[in-house]
């Protein structure tokens, strides 16, 4: 059974160390760093 790219991304069905794995990891990391801490209800995030 062939999974769509979106399903593979959501299930993290990539071989570790491959290009697709690295790209998916960077995308997740960018989302976590780009979204303000208040959105994630981070208690340590200071509202300026």
**Measured between alpha carbons, how far is residue 45 from residues 32, 40, 48 in Å?**
13, 9, 9
In a domain, 44, yes or no: no
Distance from C-alpha of 24 to C-alpha of 16, rounded to nearest angstrom? 11
Predicted TM-score (pTM) of this structure: 0.56
Structural domain boundaries, residue 11: 5-34
Q: Tell me: pLDDT of 33 over 80.
A: yes
Q: Is 39 helix (H, G, I), strand (E, B) or coil?
A: coil
* Range of lowest pLDDT (6-10, 21-25, 39-43, 44-48): 44-48
Structural domain contains residue 46 = no
Provide the number of structural domains found in the chain. Answer: 1
Inside any domain, residue 45: no
More confidently predicted of 27 and 13: 27
Give a yes or no: residue 13 inside a domain. Answer: yes
Least confident of 3-7, 39-43, 44-48: 44-48
């Amino acid at each position: 059974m062939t999974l769509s790219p979106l399903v593979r991304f959501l299930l993290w069905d990539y071989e570790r160390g491959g290009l697709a794995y690295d790209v998916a990891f960077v995308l997740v990391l960018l989302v976590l760093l780009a979204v303000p801490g208040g959105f994630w209800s981070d208690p340590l995030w200071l509202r300026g």
